[in-house]
Amino acid sequence: MIQSSNPSDDFWGAAYARLVSWAIWSDARCSFFADCMLAQARFESANFSSPLYKDSNNCIGYNYYSYSSWQSGPSTHINPSSGTPYAGYKTVNDCGGELADWIKRRKTSFDDVEDIYGYLDTMSQLGYATAPASVYAHAEEYYSVTPTDGVSSEAPGEAAMVVADVVNTATSKVGSWVLIGVVGVLLFVLFGGMRLVRRFRL
C-alpha cells in the first residue's frame, strides 16, 4: 500500500480522469462531479485521517468485492452495516477510480444533479450513503473550502454522522421540555437574586 502525501489532489485527479475517459459528460461536468466526490471522501474519511483510510487507502467506505479490479484485497476493517470487510486499495487514486466507475454505471441517476446537495441526495437514494442526506449535507463545507489533508477538523466521518443524526432527532423530540427547563432555571435565578438583594437591603 502506498500512502499519498496529497490525497485530495490524487483522489480528485483519478476520479476526474476516469470520468473523462468514459466521455459521458463534458469536461466541466466531470470536474463538478470530481469536486462532489472529493467532498464526500473528505467527509467520510474525516479529511483523510480515519483509520480505514490510513490502513487501507479507503476514503469512501466502499465494501470489498473479490471481482473488483481496483481493489488490492479486503481491509481489516469491517462494515458494521453489512458485516463484511471494507475494500483495501493500493493507492487513493484507485479508490477515486472505483467511485467514478460506480457513478458511471448509474449515470442516468446523476444526469440532473446540479449541486452538492443534489449529489448527496442521489447518493442517499441509491443506497450508498447510509447516514441521512441531511447529515451528509455537512460535506458542503468541504466542497467550498480546501482543508489541510490529514487533519480531521470538523469532518467526523460516517459513524459520528450517524450518532449526530440520532442526537439531533432526540433533541428535536425533547426540545420543548428542555426549553421549559431552561426557562424555569432562569426564573429561579432571577427571583432568587431579587430576594437576596432585598435581604441585604434590609
115-168 pLDDT, tens digit per residue, is 888 888 898 889 887 666 566 666 555 555 555 555 554 444 443 443 334 334
pLDDT class of 200 with cuts at 50, 70, 90: very low
Residue with cell 487507502: 57
Residue 120 is predicted with a pLDDT of: 84
For residue 182, tell me if it sits in a domain.
no
For residue 26, tell me if it sits in a domain.
yes
164-199 pLDDT, tens digit per residue, is 343 344 444 445 555 566 556 555 555 554 443 344
Residue 192 is predicted with a pLDDT of: 55
For residue 66, tell me if it sits in a domain.
yes
Is residue 100 scored above 90 in pLDDT?
yes
Instruction: Tell me what the mean pLDDT of segment 61-81 comes to.
Output: 96
Q: What percent of the chain has pLDDT over 90?
A: 50
For residue 197, tell me if it sits in a domain.
no
Return the higher-pLDDT residue of 176 and 33: 33
Q: Can you give the CATH number for the domain in which 123 is found?
A: 1.10.530.10
Residue with cell 432527532: 169
For residue 189, tell me if it sits in a domain.
no
Domain residue limits at 136: 7-159
For residue 43, tell me if it sits in a domain.
yes
Q: Which of 83, 75, 161 is nearest to 120 (CA)?
A: 161
Instruction: Tell me what the mean pLDDT of segment 14-20 comes to.
Output: 97
For residue 188, tell me if it sits in a domain.
no
Residue 143 is predicted with a pLDDT of: 54
What is the number of structural domains in the chain? 1
For residue 174, tell me if it sits in a domain.
no
> Could you give the residue ranges of the DSSP H alpha helices within the chain?
7-22, 27-44, 51-56, 92-104, 107-110, 116-125, 133-136, 140-144, 158-201
